[in-house]
Chains A and B, each alone.
Chain A
Amino acid sequence: MAIIEHEPNEVLELDSGDPTTPDRGIGVFLRPTDETGWRSWLFTVDHKKIGIMYGCVAMFWFFVAGVEALLVRIQLWGPDSSVLTASEYNQLFTMHGTTMVFLVVMPLAAAFANYIVPLQIGARDVAFPRMNALALWIFIFGGIFLNLSWFTGGAAECGWFCYAPNSGLAYSPGTGVDYYAFGLQILGVASLIGSANIIVTILNMRAPGMELRHMPIFTWMILVVQFLLLFSLPVITVALILLTLDRSFGANFFNVDQGADPLLWQHLFWIFGHPEVYILILPSFGIVSETLPVFSRKPLFGYTFVVFSGIGIGFMGWGVWAHHMFASGLGPVSVAAFSATTMFIAVPTGVKILNWIATMWGGNIRFELPMMFSISLVSMFTIGGLSGVMHAVAASDTQQTDSYFIVAHFHYVLFGGALMGLFAGMYYWWPKIFGHHLNKRLGKIHFWLVLIGFNAAFGPMHILGLQGQARRQYRYPEEANFDLWNKVSTIGAFVILIAMLVFAYNILKSAKQYRNGEIPQAGADPWDGRTLEWSIPSPTPAHNFDYTPVVTQLDDFWHKKYATNEHGKLVKIADGNDIAQKGDQTPHLPSPSFWPIVMATGFPIAALGVIYNLALSAVGLLIIVGSLYGWALEPATDPNSGHGHDDHPDDAPSDGGDDASASQDEATEGASVV
C-alpha cells in the first residue's frame, strides 16, 4: 500500500467488498528500482529530488536568460548601436522575459515548494508523487521546447505578452510565436498539475495537530500561490489556444478585418498576467517571513496579519489586471475603477512590509547571508512598490507606459523582490538540502555584488524612463543624451554577472570541500529554526520524518527548545541538534516510475506536430494516452519492492486504493491535457 496515495475516505469504502484485485497489475511489466545514479533521478518520485531538479534546471535557464539580458545591455551601451539587428534584439528581450518568468522564478519557487513544504507540514511526500514527477518533466521538456525556436528560424519577437494582432501570421510569419504559444501551454500544464498536487498536499497532509493557523508562513504563501495558479492558468490556456487556432487553423479571433478587438487578447493575457505577478512574488514573501523571525530571534510580528494580507493579495490580484492597459483606450470609467483597485492592493503589501520591519525591530539580529538577502528584499521591493503606486495613478502611468521607468519598476519588484527572496531561501535551506553551508565570505561577496550591480543596472532606468527612453527599441539617437545612464546600467548588468559567477564558484567550492571533509556537516538545526524542517537531520533522509511529528502550536519546534522560567524569562531548554530526529528509521516509500517522464515526452511531440505535421501530433497524443493507461494500471508502490505489502498481510484494500488513485490521475490529467 502506498504511504501517500492511499484511500482515506471512508464514505464509500465498505468492508463487504470482494478480496482484492490481483497483486501485480497488467501495466506493471517493469519498474525502475535504482536508488542511486542517474536513473534514480530520472525516474524518481521523491519530492526532494524533484525539488532539487527544479532548482538546477531553473538555474540553467537563469544563466541563459541572463546572457540574453547582457546581449540586450551590450546593444544599448551607446547610441545607434549595431551589435544586434532589430529582429535579434526583439527575440532577445522576448525570450529574456519569458524565460525569467516561466523558467526561472516560477520553477525556483516550485523547487522550494516541492522540497520544503512537505517538510514544514511534517509529511513524508506530496499527495501524488508520480504526478509531481510528471509536472517536473513536462516543465523541463516545455522549457527545451520553448527554446528550440532559436534554432528553427528565430524566436518570438512579440514580447512576453505577445499582443495581438502583432502575434498573428501577418506580422509574425515565422514559427517563433508558435513555439511561444505551445511552450507556454506546455509549461501551463506542468504548473496546473503541480498546483493541484501541492494544494491537496497542504490541505490534506499536515502533521496531526497542525491546523491552518499553525501552518508555517512559507507554506501559507505557497498555498495562496498554488490557488492563483490553479485559477489563472486556464485563462492563458484559452488565450493561447485562440492564438494557435488563428495561426495554425485559420480562425478569426484576432483578425481585425473580421471585426476582432485587439483588447480581447490583452484582457485575457492580463487576467492571467496579473495574478502571475503575485505568483512570482508571494513565494519570496513567504521565504523572508521565515528568515526574518529566525535571524531576529523573535516570532513573526502579526502572523495572522501576514497570512490574511497574503490571502488578500491573492484575491485582490484578480481585480487589477487592466492597469496594464491604461494606455490602450479602455475608457475613463474602466480606467478609474482599475486605478482605484490598484491603489488599494498596495495596502496588504504595505501590511507585510510593516510586519517585517516590526519583526526586526528590537530583535537580536544575526547578519547571516539569508538575513542579508531578506533585508535587501524588504528595502528593494519597497522601492519597486513605490514606483508601482505611481503607475496606479492612471494619468501618471500614461506618461510612463512603454518607457524604461516601467522596466525599472518591474525589475525592482521581480529582481529586488522575488529573486532576492529566492536567494535568501537558497542560503537558508542549503544546509538542509545539501548538508553543508555555503561559504560565508564568498556569499557576502555575492550579496554585495548583487545588491550593487542590481541597483546600478536598474536604478538608472528610472531616470532614463522619465527622460523618455522607450522600451523595446533597439536603438536610441545620439541627440537623446541617454548614453551615460545606459552605460551605468550595462556596467551594473555585468556586475550582476560577476556576482552570479561568484555564487556558482561558491556552490562548487563548498560542495567539493564538503566532499573532502574540509567543512563540517551542518547540524539538523543550524540556524536555531522555528519550523519542522529543522527537526530532522541535514541533509534530509529519504523518508523525511522518522516519526510523524504531533504539533500543538505555531512554531512548535521552537517551543520545544525555549520555555519561560519561573521569572517569566525566556530560556533555552534544549538544543535543536540534540532533540532532532535521528533519521534512522526505514519506512517504505512510493516506488519510482517510468511513466511520468515517458508521458511528458508526448507533450512537446504533440506540439511540434501542430507546427509542422499533424501526424506527429497523433504520435504525441498516443504517447500521452498510452502512458496514461500504463500509469493507471501501475500501483503507486511496487508490490515487489520488498516492503509495503509484506508488513501488512491483512491490509486487503491496499490495491483497491491504489487503483482508485491511479484512475483518478487518469481522470484529472486526461482532462487537463486539453
Chain B
Amino acid sequence: MSTDTAIADHGTAQEHEGDHLTFTGAIKIAILLAVITGVETATYFVDFGSVAEPLILILMAVKFLIVIGYFMHLKYDNNMFALLFAIGVVFALAVYGAMLLTFNFF
C-alpha cells in the first residue's frame, strides 16, 4: 500500500487537483461512451459472426474502465480507492469464474 504515508504528506490529494475532468472533457467521454454503446447495439442488427461475443465483452470492459477511470476519477484520485475497488472486482471475477467453471468443467 504505497499510499501509507505519515502525517507530513497528507496533501497528496491536492496535487491531483489540476487533473480534474473538465466540462468539455466530460462531454467528449460521454460521446465516446455513446459511440461504443452504438457499436454494441449494432451487433444485434448486423451479424458479426464469431467476433460478436468477444467484441461485446471487450467493448463492455472498455466502457467499464472509462467510467471508473474518468467519471469516478480513479485515474486522478488516490490509489487507495482504486485498490479497494480493484480487490472487489478481482475477487468477484476470480471466485465466480472458478465457481462457474466447476459447473461446466470437471
Contacts and interface: CB of A to CB of B under 8 A. Distances in A.
A271 B13 contact: no
Interface string A318-343: 11001000000011111000000000
Interface stretch (A142-150, A203-211, A505-513): A203-211
B7 A208 contact: yes
Nearest to B7: A208
B47 interface: no
Nearest to A235: B95
A208 B95 contact: no
Given A267-B99, A318-B94, A318-B95, A211 B4 contact: yes
Contacts of A231: 87-88, 91
A614 interface: no
Interface residue range, chain B: 20 to 34
A263 B87 contact: no
B17 A11 contact: yes
A9 interface: yes
A73 B57 CA distance: 55
A267 B102 contact: yes
Contacts of A261: 103
B99 A333 contact: no
A227 B16 CA distance: 27
A9 B13 contact: yes
Contacts of B88: 231
B89 to A, nearest CB: 11
B97 to A, nearest CB: 12
A358 to B, nearest CB: 27
A212 interface: yes
Interface string B69-106: 00000000000100000011001001100110111011
A257 interface: no
Contacts of A334: 101-102, 105-106
A10 B14 CA distance: 7
Given A263-B103, A330-B102, A212 B14 contact: no
Contacts of A263: 102-103
Interface string A223-264: 000010001000100000000000000000000000001010
Contacts of A333: 105-106
Nearest to A333: B106
Contacts of A9: 13
A212 B4 contact: yes
A208 B13 contact: no
Contacts of B13: 9-11
A547 to B, nearest CB: 15
Given A9-B13, A10-B11, A209 B105 contact: no
Nearest to B1: A212
Given A208-B7, A211-B6, A322 B102 contact: yes
Given A9-B13, A10-B11, A203-B80, A331 B106 contact: yes
Residue among B17, B102, B103 having the largest count of chain A Cβ atoms under 10 Å: B102
Nearest to B77: A11
Contact of B6 (A8, A208, A267, A332): A208
A653 to B, nearest CB: 16
Nearest to B101: A334
Contacts of B4: 211-213
Interface in A1-32: 8-11
Nearest to A332: B106
B82 to A, nearest CB: 14
B17 to A, nearest CB: 6
A304 to B, nearest CB: 14
B74 to A, nearest CB: 14
Interface of A: 8-11, 203, 208-209, 211-213, 227, 231, 235, 261, 263, 267, 271, 318-319, 322, 330-334
29 contacts: A8-B10, A10-B13, A10-B14, A11-B17, A203-B80, A208-B6, A209-B6, A209-B7, A211-B4, A212-B4, A213-B4, A227-B87, A235-B95, A261-B103, A263-B102, A263-B103, A267-B102, A271-B95, A319-B94, A319-B98, A330-B102, A330-B106, A331-B102, A331-B105, A332-B106, A333-B105, A334-B101, A334-B102, A334-B105
> Lowest 8 A-B CB distances belong to which pairs?
A331-B106, A208-B7, A334-B102, A212-B4, A267-B99, A11-B13, A333-B106, A211-B4
